[in-house]
Amino acid sequence: MRVNPVDSLPATQAEPIVFGHRMIEPVVQRKLTVIFSADVVGYSALMERDEAGTLERLKANRKAIFDPRVVAHGGRTVKLMGDGALVEFGSVVSAVDCASEIQEATEADGAASDADRICYRIGITLGEVIVEGEDIYGDGVNMAARLQMLAPPGGVAVSRSVRDQLVGKVAVDFEDLGEHTVKNIERPVQVFAMRTTPRKTAREAAEPRQRVSICVLPFANMSGDPEQEYFSDGITEDIITDLSKVSALWVAARNTAFTFKGRHVDAPHLARELKVSHLLEGSVRKAGGRVRITAQLIDGATGGHVWAERYDRDLSDIFALQDEISQAIVGALKLKLLPEEKKAIEQRGTTNLEAYNLYLMARQYSLTGNLGAARRNEAIIRLCRRATEIDPHYARPWALMAVAQMALRFHLGREGDDGFAAAERALSLDPSLPEAHGAKARALMQKGRMDEALAEVETALRLDPGSYEANSAAGRWHYLTRRFDDAIRYYEKAAALDETEYMASGLLVSCYKATGDDEGRRRAAKRSLARTEKIVAIEPDNGSAMSYAVGALAALGESERAQEWAARALLLDPDNLNLRYNFACALVVDLRAFDAALDMLEPAFEKLRIEAVNWTKTDPDLDLIRDHPRYKAMIAAAEARLARSEPADKAG
């Protein structure tokens, strides 16, 4: 089905949208319902190991176990999201009984080895939702998604409202997991879990341990203030970075570790899933001028504690304390710390606590914010600029500021710094910083200086081959130079390194299209859609995520859903140039609606900076309209405008 051209776009957020010759009026219908969110544990790792087999096992599970039990208990499957499912029930008892049966039947299923077995996490809440056609969204859906993330593998997590409804009605014991914050919900949510005991096999018990390895789980924020989350996350990241400098130790990547943030985990099960010998967990409490850090090193085979310690210090001692913790862990693992490794761990980049604190806040914004939103990038720049004013020799905020400056120009057409000077400053302070080389590479690409950019990409990969930023930059370079097979290799690695990212996944849809790999494109589109749907369920106004979702839907032939998502996104985030551009690409590649695509691009071309204009010249998604007179006129007008305002950039 082909989407009709876009006749007009919303002038304000209060006006209805005309999309495809039909009016989409804002309709708000609410209801109270039981929301059930399910997700497959370790799905990305399963797909990476055996994609075809994993898809077959998931389909078989849904056909034989999941779907029949949902129907038997009166549930309605609202939508499937890759490995996830959103279901609603009219009864709390029905939802919990259904979840218990699904988990028990899935655990008992002997169709696969334990390593390849499908295993769900399920979250259930009773709450209000907004109804839009057959879809539901709102706080209730957000809460169910959060509860699902907190559930143990093979288990079920529920809200207090569900637990209270079950008293005296079902024979289930619940474990209190404490209060947790949920995005856009003002008060903390009390979470309860009912768990199944993971099975141990003779093969797992006999499996020899190889190299000492560890996953550092995100430290819990015990400060009583959700705004302090950035600090506990920063402590976790620094410990990961420190331990990664020990040559005798393999450390799970930050992006892998943070997929378990806020979850109650079963240590032996998780260690088997990640194939690590040890886990580190802990908590951080920051109050006034004091900080308390607790840490426990856990044996992955037995779940027993190898080492545990509590540290109470002045906040001004935080850098020495991090060194002490990292070295204590190395000692507990009975590893030898080489002199150069000890020296590397003790190099913090700054000794100023305020500058460090500001950088951690900026880092948190960069990881959780809407990529195309001005407020996200402006906040990063303000925080990093203040950090560099306090300590001009602190390289990391210079590198992060460079990326945010580039994003403002590329996604929003803003004037101002292009990020090049900040990236150069970061490298002059610390030439061994991979993210600084990645930032400079991107700045050079946006100026069209591709040979110099490649040298920076290669350096970033050499310094940290497992870095998401380095692999993403490498994918970008190969995409812009139309070396799509190589772009696929780097983007696939970037997507595998971070199960929450959607940009590399989305660009893979275009890469596979350019190489003529229809099956690869469909697979990439499904992954991109699954990831973006999860993000939008929690952050409904994330225009960048919605734009990639529209591209994925179009690639999968779901044009009606694509147009509905596009209409909603344009209403919520009409000034996001990245959003408009991605919609235009979908209209060109999958819907062949060339005039509609040009209508979508025209207002964007009036604001695009030289970086984005250079991107459009090589993007394969626009190849079909490259000779169109309107497209040529837009390029010419944009270049003329930029020649007047940015002669140096245009010269490259």
Structure tokens at 452: 């110099």
Q: How far is CA 158 from CA 92, 162, 318, 548, in A?
A: 10, 6, 37, 31
Buried b vs exposed e over 112-129: b needs ≥16 C-beta within 10 Å?
beebebbbbbbbbbbbeb
Q: How many CB atoms lie within 10 A of CB 152?
A: 22
For 622-643, what is each residue's pLDDT tens digit?
A: 999 999 999 999 999 988 888 8
* Of 513, 503, 479, 493, the residue nearest 619 (C-alpha): 479
CA–centroid distance for 565 within its chain: 20
Confidence band of 252 (pLDDT split at 50, 70, 90): confident
In this structure, the strands spanning 213-216 and 175-182 are unpaired
- Classify burial at 25, counting beta carbons within 10 Å of its beta carbon; exposed 0-12, middle 13-18, buried 19 or more: exposed
pLDDT-above-90 percentage for the chain: 25
Q: Give me the pLDDT at residue 456, please.
A: 93
Q: Give me the pLDDT at residue 198, please.
A: 43
pTM for the full model? 0.61
CATH of domain 356-651: 1.25.40.10
User: For the chain, what is the mean pLDDT?
Assistant: 82
For 88-126, what is each residue's pLDDT tens digit?
A: 998 888 899 899 889 888 888 766 666 678 889 999 998
Q: State the Cα–Cα distance between residues 218 and 333, nearest whole angstrom.
A: 19
| Domain spanning 207-348, CATH class | alpha beta
Q: How far is CA 290 from CA 95, 235, 316, 390, 563, in A?
A: 45, 15, 8, 21, 52
Q: Give me the pLDDT at residue 115, please.
A: 64
Q: Which amino acid is at 490?
A: Y
Average pLDDT over residues 565-579: 82
Calculate the CA dihedral of residues 411, 566, 499, 119 and round it to 10 degrees. 170
For 274-293, what is each residue's pLDDT tens digit?
A: 888 999 999 999 887 889 99
CATH label, 29-199, candidates 3.40.630.30, 2.10.109.10, 3.30.70.1230, 3.40.1190.20: 3.30.70.1230
Q: Is the pLDDT of residue 428 over 90?
A: yes
Q: How many helices (H) and strands (E) does the chain have?
A: 29, 16
Q: How far is CA 136 from CA 38, 40, 144, 145, 465, in A?
A: 15, 21, 12, 13, 41
Three-state DSSP class for residue 21: coil
* Of 485, 483, 505, the residue nearest 494 (C-alpha): 505
Confidence band of 253 (pLDDT split at 50, 70, 90): confident
Which residues have C-beta within 8 Å of that of residue 359, sequence separation ≥ 6?
234, 350, 383, 384, 387, 394, 396, 397, 400
Q: State the Cα–Cα distance between residues 243 and 250, nearest whole angstrom.
A: 8
Three-point CA angle 427, 366, 426, nearest 5°? 10
CA–centroid distance for 279 within its chain: 22
Q: How far is CA 545 from CA 93, 500, 533, 578, in A?
A: 35, 11, 8, 10
Which residues have C-beta within 8 Å of that of residue 413, sequence separation ≥ 6?
577, 604, 607, 608, 609, 612
Q: How many CB atoms lie within 10 A of CB 89?
A: 23
For 300-316, what is each residue's pLDDT tens digit?
A: 888 888 899 999 999 88
Q: Give me the pLDDT at residue 38, please.
A: 94
Q: Give me the pLDDT at residue 541, please.
A: 79
In this structure, the strands spanning 156-159 and 120-132 are parallel
DSSP state of 275: T
For 496-543, what is each residue's pLDDT tens digit?
A: 777 677 888 889 999 999 998 988 899 999 989 988 888 888 778 788
Domain boundaries, the chain: 29-199, 207-348, 356-651
